[in-house]
Each structure stands twice: as structure tokens, then as C-alpha cells.
């Protein structure tokens, strides 16, 4: 076998292995929806008031939770009602921990520092360790676009 044949066979095996890994470990729906949620705001070129956050979601949801910084993972799971995947703890005030649910199942999960999804939510003072909204609540947000192209959403009560 010459070097060129070996390289072709190696490349084909790498591609096949990649397909197998992707099939066995698909991207979770909540991660796909988080990326699409961010992209839905591309139609807005600057600061704006969002009168209905639901009009920017490509997924159906009925409950939204935002968790206060430093909320332990087990508390997030208790509030949400089940453990869906490994989640990341928030280790500073500048991190997101937003969970959208539909009929008790996670359909969108926005976590980490704002540069991950280019989104940051501010709900004001938390009562306890989380803030809860439903799709039937008033869903008005002031959105500011920062220099780093991060969309910061301030909830209007």
C-alpha cells in the first residue's frame, strides 16, 4: 500500500468515526435552541424594547427560570423538577443560568458567561435562588447591545 492510499483510507476512517460519535452523542435540543434564540435577535440592529420575548423563540415554552449566581446544581434540578444533563454552576454575578421548559421538560438552556451565546439576562433582585416567568406573563425586556456585541436583556416588571 502506498502512502497516498494509506492517507485516503485514514481520512475515510476519521470521517466515519466522526459520524459515529456525532450519532451516539447528538447536540441536545436545549443547546440547539439556545443558539437559535440568539440568532433570532439578528433582525434588530441596536438597542430596543422587546414587547414579547416569546415572539423571538423558535421553540415552544411555558416556563422560564433564571437562577441567582452561585445557586448549586442540585437546587437547579430540584426547582426545575428533574436532572436533564450535566449543567454548569454559576461562579460569578456575570453568568447566565436560564432554563426554558415546555410541559416540564427543558427545551432551551442558556448557561455560562454572556460571550458563549452573546446573551445576558438581568431580572433584578431574586427572591430566594430563582426568578420564574411563564409564557402568559408580561414578557417585556429592554435590550442593549454592548461593544462586545452581547445583547443584555433587562426585564421590565
pTM: 0.79
Nearest alpha-carbon partner for 74 in 64, 83, 63:
83
- Spatial contact of 30 and 109, defined as CB atoms under 8 Å apart: yes
Q: pLDDT by residue (tens digit) across 26-81?
A: 778 888 898 888 888 888 878 899 998 888 899 999 999 999 988 888 899 999 88
Residues found in the chain:
157
Q: pLDDT by residue (tens digit) across 81-100?
A: 888 777 877 888 888 899 99
Amino acid at each position: 500500500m502506498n502512502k497516498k492510499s494509506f492517507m485516503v483510507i485514514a481520512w475515510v476512517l476519521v470521517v466515519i468515526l466522526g459520524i459515529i460519535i456525532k450519532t451516539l452523542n447528538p447536540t441536545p435540543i436545549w443547546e440547539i435552541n439556545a443558539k437559535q434564540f440568539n440568532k433570532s435577535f439578528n433582525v434588530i440592529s441596536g438597542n430596543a424594547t422587546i414587547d414579547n420575548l416569546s415572539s423571538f423563540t423558535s421553540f415552544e415554552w411555558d416556563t422560564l427560570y433564571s437562577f441567582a449566581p452561585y445557586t448549586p446544581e442540585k437546587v437547579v434540578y430540584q426547582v426545575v423538577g428533574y436532572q436533564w444533563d450535566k449543567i454548569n454552576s454559576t461562579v460569578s454575578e456575570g453568568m447566565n443560568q436560564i432554563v426554558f421548559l415546555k410541559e416540564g421538560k427543558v427545551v432551551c438552556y442558556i448557561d455560562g458567561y454572556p460571550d458563549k451565546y452573546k446573551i445576558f439576562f438581568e431580572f433584578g433582585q431574586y427572591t430566594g435562588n430563582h426568578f420564574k416567568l411563564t409564557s402568559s406573563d408580561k414578557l417585556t425586556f429592554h435590550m442593549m447591545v454592548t461593544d462586545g456585541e452581547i445583547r443584555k436583556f433587562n426585564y421590565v416588571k
